[in-house]
Structure 1
């Protein structure tokens, strides 16, 4: 995908005066921050992913949640390492260390669960995921008409999926 078409998808015409674009960006930024610090907020999404683990379309709609949980897994794993280092070096109180370690482990477990569910689905149903990724990459965005053969094909696949 060319840089121009990628930028057009991210920054549609008039983006700087679009309240919807700004609100969506701020919402995504706050959700990403919450996921990195407190993945437990997304326990409902993880339960839904486990419930629909054999439905790639449902899991694909949760792609933002998946990315947030992976970031939460990395962030909380790093937090555990920093916490262990601080406990050894500075001699943190045992209660505080246990509380923070429990919080990091809970968030890591939730993130790891979602990671395993999506990875299992991607391995077992690779053809369905390939189709979904093709549609996501090539579908026309922001209501503009399709301009290339790939965009027409992606639009047709979207229509077939919604029927």
Structure 2
């Protein structure tokens, strides 16, 4: 897919006036930031992912986005390393260190579970995930009508 057509999909004509475009973008950004910093909020989503681990459509619709969980793994791992270095060098208070380390480990555990469940599903059911990826990539967004053959096909697969 060319950069121009990808940008056209993300920034349709009149995007700056579209309330749906702004609301969707802010919602996705907020979910990704929340998933990266406070993954504990998504414990219910993690349990849902484990229960529906063999259903790619359910996994693809998780509100805590997969990218947010991957970012959580990276951010909290880095936070744990920084916390360990600060505890060694500055002698942080033991209770504070234990609480922050527990927070980071809990976030890492939840994100790791979601990551493993989704990765396992992608490995075991590549055809279903290929269809979902096609729909995500080509489906018309923000309420605009389909304009290409791929968009029509993605819209039909979506229903």
TM-score, reference length from structure 1: 0.88
| Aligned equivalent of 1:143 | 144
Matched, 1:61 2:61: yes
CA–CA distance in 1 between the matches of 2:108 and 2:80?
10
CA–CA distance in 2 between the matches of 1:20 and 1:146?
19
Tell me the secondary structure at the aligned position of residue 65 of structure 2: helix
1:13-58 Cα shifts (integer Å, max 9, x gaps): 2111222222222222222222221100111111111111100111
* Residue 3 to residue 63, structure 1, CA distance change in 2 (3 Å): farther
TM-score, reference length from structure 2: 0.90
Whether the 8 Å CA contact 2:56–2:121 is kept in 1: the answer is yes
The structural deviation recorded for 1:4 is 1.8
* Residue 11 to residue 35, structure 1, CA distance change in 2 (3 Å): same
- Where do 5+ consecutive residues of structure 1 fail to align? none
Alignment of 1:2-151 (within 5 A): 2-62=2-62, 65-141=65-141, 142-148=143-149, 150-151=150-151
May I ask how many residue pairs the two structures share in their alignment? 158
Give me the CA root mean square deviation.
1.7
* Residue 133 to residue 63, structure 1, CA distance change in 2 (3 Å): farther
Tell me the secondary structure at the aligned position of residue 104 of structure 1: helix
CA–CA distance in 1 between the matches of 2:114 and 2:14?
36
The structural deviation recorded for 1:116 is 0.6
Whether the 8 Å CA contact 1:77–1:104 is kept in 2: the answer is yes
Whether the 8 Å CA contact 2:139–2:146 is kept in 1: the answer is no
Alignment of 1:146-161 (within 5 A): 146-148=147-149, 150-158=150-158
Whether the 8 Å CA contact 2:139–2:155 is kept in 1: the answer is yes
